[in-house]
């Protein structure tokens, strides 16, 4: 049975909905829009003020970040539940998403935004940094954003509650309309439905191995001279995803990849998940070039999808069946061999830890300038105090990846503008152990995992995760602890300005014997004096 396709405009009267959203935007003093799961506007956005259209959308960067921010909220509202609150990635305001679900399908999201929350507004300098990053005039940006009234969190919660009730009513009305439509159009028998389910993979909705083998046998038995292409495909990094982020994340990766395969495939192709991370595709009456184009389209779609903590990627091999010299199984074996060669090539190119760093930069958990400066300063100081090239290089790598465990925190963790609870602080502390376990999984970091584990320990023993003290802490970790703090003080980023080298040195000395190795502090000060 074909999956039911839902079109919002077939279920609701859009003109009436537009009037309702326009009225609500003015009454609540917020911006409101309704989007499809793919981010397409269903009706025109309803604005209370025109900050986005007058300022943000005047640059390509602003348009891009605004669209990306909207899509992130749409995805989060569906996956995490609604209302889902996020800081806007383009304007520095607060947005939220409320999903509309019909018959278990996410068909639309109400976007609510352009809100300045009391106690959570960025500083003027942060606003200016946002304006510079967008490429818009800072004074125009500040003047326009100040036009928005500051709203309390309580009022915003009431607005979201009201819109959630409206979304629930729309969902109920849509389900009623859709149910009648389905009843009228249901033509398939229960027997057909059950047979279809028996041939489908429960996790991804693709055909299963049984269906694929049946189709392959029928194809081989036919006497027609039909062109046949066999494609072998294998999802990359599934085991690592399961080991680090859990099987739920691995299942989500398989579902995302399966959807991309199904979306790009021809209607009469057999696209099957044949076990674990293995996919097989049987194509008829298409040239080999078309099969390779399909593989490239899926590959590019995976590259552009940044929703998961590991990249979505899949290795392919495609072969055309030579009826005169081989069986169809032997053709598949040729495709499989090509797939494994492709998989090996991809593994040599990828750097999963750098992918995680990019995710952390995007979420503003870490800042690129800080990490790059820290790794180089740590390396230079390690060489200065006499560590050989190998150990100094290990310090550089450990400094670069010491905080990768932060990727395990929720995406909006750092965005909240309030003090952390004890539970939240414990979650942050746990990122060290997470980073250690992640580093153990990779060939280029397993040797320095122990330095990552101890990189947040204090010289006086009053820190985490093990409470190591003094020389119990590896030299490499002591270097990282000190250099990390120094670079956080002297390297400016979107969150703060630098305090200057002299003030940073004073802080280092004030913490000598507490956070930092006292002798190492003085060596580091001497090292800084020699640096240009």
Structural domain boundaries, residue 215: 201-350
CA-wise closest residue to 296 among 260, 269, 331, 332: 260
Give the other-Cβ count within 10 Å of 109's Cβ.
Answer: 30
162 & 43 share domain: yes
Domain boundary among 300, 333, 350: 350
- 455 and 473 in contact (C-beta within 8 Å)? no
pLDDT at 187: 47
pLDDT at 53: 76
If one counts the domains in the chain, the total is 3
DSSP secondary structure code for residue 152 in this structure: -
Run of H or E including 44: none
Quote the radius of gyration of the chain (alpha carbons, Å): 28
Helix (H, G, I), strand (E, B) or coil at 339: helix
Domain boundary among 133, 150, 183: 183
What is the CATH number for 482? 1.10.3210.10
93 & 222 share domain: no
pLDDT at 482: 96
Domain-located, residue 488: yes
Domain-located, residue 374: yes
| Longest CA pairwise span in the chain (Å) | 85
What is the CATH number for 320? 3.30.70.270
- 507 and 516 in contact (C-beta within 8 Å)? no
pTM above 0.75, yes or no: no
Distances (CA, A) of 468 to 454, 459, 472, 515, 529: 8, 8, 6, 11, 30
CA-wise closest residue to 517 among 462, 479, 468: 479
Distances (CA, A) of 499 to 87, 371, 507: 27, 17, 10
16 & 157 share domain: yes
- pLDDT 10s digits, 391-444: 999 999 999 999 999 888 876 665 444 566 777 778 888 889 999 998 998 888
Q: Which two tokens stand for residue 446?
A: 């397993």
Long-range contacts, 79-88 (Cβ 8 Å, 24+): 82/109, 82/164, 82/167, 83/112, 83/160, 83/163, 83/164, 85/160, 85/412, 86/411, 86/412, 86/415, 87/412, 87/415, 88/113, 88/114
What is the CATH number for 159? 3.30.450.20
Domain-located, residue 2: no
Domain-located, residue 137: yes
pLDDT at 81: 72
Domain-located, residue 462: yes
User: How many Å apart are CA 510 and CA 486, to the nearest integer?
Assistant: 12
Q: Classify 343 in phi/psi space as left (phi over 0), alpha (psi -120 to 50) or beta.
A: alpha
- pLDDT 10s digits, 141-150: 888 888 888 8
User: How many Å apart are CA 156 and CA 109, to the nearest integer?
Assistant: 18
Domain-located, residue 447: yes
Top-confidence residue, 240 or 54: 240
Domain-located, residue 47: yes
pLDDT band at 191 (very low <50, low <70, confident <90, very high): low
User: How many Å apart are CA 516 and CA 520, to the nearest integer?
Assistant: 8
Domain boundary among 328, 350, 372: 350
Helix (H, G, I), strand (E, B) or coil at 395: helix
373 & 338 share domain: no
Domain-located, residue 422: yes
Q: Which two tokens stand for residue 466?
A: 């093990």
209 & 179 share domain: no
Tokens 């495709």 found at: 335
Top-confidence residue, 480 or 224: 480
91 & 160 share domain: yes
143 & 14 share domain: yes
pLDDT band at 498 (very low <50, low <70, confident <90, very high): confident
Whether residue 249 is predicted with pLDDT greater than 80 in this model: the reply is yes
Class of residue 393 by CB neighbours under 10 A (exposed 0-12, middle 13-18, buried 19+): middle
31 & 179 share domain: yes
279 & 313 share domain: yes
148 & 110 share domain: yes
39 & 177 share domain: yes
372 & 505 share domain: yes
User: How many Å apart are CA 114 and CA 51, to the nearest integer?
Assistant: 8
């Amino acid at each position: 049975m074909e999956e039911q396709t839902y079109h919002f405009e077939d279920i609701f009267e859009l003109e009436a909905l537009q009037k309702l959203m326009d009225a609500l935007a003015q009454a609540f003093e917020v911006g409101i829009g309704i989007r499809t799961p793919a981010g397409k506007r269903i009706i025109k956005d309803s604005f209370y003020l025109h900050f986005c259209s007058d300022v943000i959308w005047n640059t390509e960067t602003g348009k891009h970040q605004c669209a990306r921010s909207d899509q992130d909220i749409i995805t989060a509202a569906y996956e995490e539940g609604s209302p889902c609150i996020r800081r806007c990635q383009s304007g520095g305001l607060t947005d939220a998403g409320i999903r509309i679900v019909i018959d278990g399908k996410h068909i639309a999201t109400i976007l609510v935004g352009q809100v300045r929350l009391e106690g959570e507004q960025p500083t003027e300098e942060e606003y200016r940094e946002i304006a510079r990053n967008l490429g818009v005039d800072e004074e125009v940006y500040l003047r326009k954003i100040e036009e928005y009234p500051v709203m309390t969190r309580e009022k915003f919660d009431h607005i979201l509650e009201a819109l959630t009730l409206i979304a629930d009513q729309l969902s109920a009305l849509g389900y009623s309309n859709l149910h009648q439509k389905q009843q009228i159009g249901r033509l398939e028998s229960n027997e057909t439905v059950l047979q279809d389910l028996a041939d489908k993979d429960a996790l991804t909705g693709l055909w299963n191995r049984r269906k694929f083998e049946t189709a392959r046998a029928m194809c081989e038995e036919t006497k027609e001279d039909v062109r046949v292409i066999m494609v072998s495909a294998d999802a990359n990094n599934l085991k690592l995803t399961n080991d680090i982020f859990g099987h739920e994340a691995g299942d989500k990766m398989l579902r995302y990849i399966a959807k991309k395969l199904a979306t790009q495939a021809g209607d009469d192709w057999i696209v099957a998940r044949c076990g674990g991370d293995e996919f097989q595709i049987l194509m008829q009456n298409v040239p080999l070039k078309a099969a390779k184009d399909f593989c490239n389209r899926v590959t590019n779609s995976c590259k552009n999808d940044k929703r998961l903590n590991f990249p979505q990627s899949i290795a392919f091999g495609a072969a055309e069946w030579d009826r005169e010299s081989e069986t169809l199984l032997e053709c598949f074996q040729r495709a499989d061999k090509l797939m494994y060669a492709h998989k090996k090539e991809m593994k040599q190119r990828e750097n999963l830890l750098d992918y995680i760093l990019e995710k952390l930069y995007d979420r503003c958990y870490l800042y690129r300038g800080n990490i790059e400066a820290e790794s180089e300063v740590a390396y230079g100081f390690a060489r200065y105090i006499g560590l050989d090239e190998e150990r100094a290089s290990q310090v550089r790598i450990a400094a670069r990846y010491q905080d990768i465990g932060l990727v395990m925190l929720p995406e909006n963790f750092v965005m909240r503008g309030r003090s952390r609870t004890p539970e939240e602080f414990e979650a942050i502390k746990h990122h060290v152990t997470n980073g250690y376990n992640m580093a153990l999984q990779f060939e280029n970091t397993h040797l320095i995992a122990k330095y990552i584990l101890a990189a947040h320990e204090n010289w006086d023993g009053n820190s985490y995760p093990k409470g190591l003290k003094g020389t119990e802490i590896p030299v490499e970790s002591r270097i990282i602890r000190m250099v990390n703090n120094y670079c956080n003080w002297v390297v400016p980023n979107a969150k703060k300005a630098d305090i200057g080298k002299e003030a940073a040195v004073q802080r280092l000395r004030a913490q000598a014997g507490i956070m930092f190795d006292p002798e190492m502090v003085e060596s580091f000060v001497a090292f800084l004096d020699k640096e240009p």
